[in-house]
Chains A and B, each alone.
Chain A
């Protein structure tokens, strides 16, 4: 079982470039999440999807868009990357009635 898979694991962008972080889960979970982790800030929720076709903003949604393509996949898009978006991004999923399962993370650097 792969669990939650994130791609790419590492990415370097220049300011103003765009990119999409992909996330897929094979646990038939309803809920999916995108978090970012920054030193001293912990994990901050960017966007949340309770089920296929629904998305909701989290604590730090500015500069990001998401797509819940189907039940398995939840992508995070940066339309015009900024240095402040340099971070480690984590995707997670849950059944909707219990704990979150996290991917291994995607390290993004914006120059």
Chain B
């Protein structure tokens, strides 16, 4: 049974608007979370992380929010750009050990 779930396989957004990608997890012991971006035929590349001691982390256009009580995290991209079109994965771990990934959300940013 998957411990990390991304329930939206795809998302389409207009350029300049906000993209919100969601991720849920089941293990309350997870304490470190990551977001990755993946283009076809390439390896995933790291975007942003958040520790369970925080509820928000920002890096430029990317912000990750963590709601521990709901076991939910989200990635906000503002403003969205066509180059952001890719598959986004969230991942979670306990004590930086095994990282479990979601199934991914394919983001399409329309010009």
Contact = CB atoms under 8 A, between A and B. Distances in A.
Interface of A: 4, 31, 33, 35, 40-45, 48, 50, 56, 58-59, 90, 92, 94, 96-105
Contacts of B103: 40-42
Residue among A42, A92, A105 with max Cβ neighbours from chain B (10 Å): A42
A98 B102 contact: no
Contacts of B100: 45, 59
Interface residues of B, number: 22
Contact of B97 (A41, A50, A104): A50
Contacts of B43: 4, 90, 92, 102-105
B86 to A, nearest CB: 14
Interface of B: 6, 9, 34, 36, 41-46, 49, 89, 91, 96-104
B89 A99 contact: no
A43 B44 contact: yes
Nearest to A104: B43
Contacts of B99: 33, 45, 100
Contact of A98 (B6, B49, B91, B98): B49
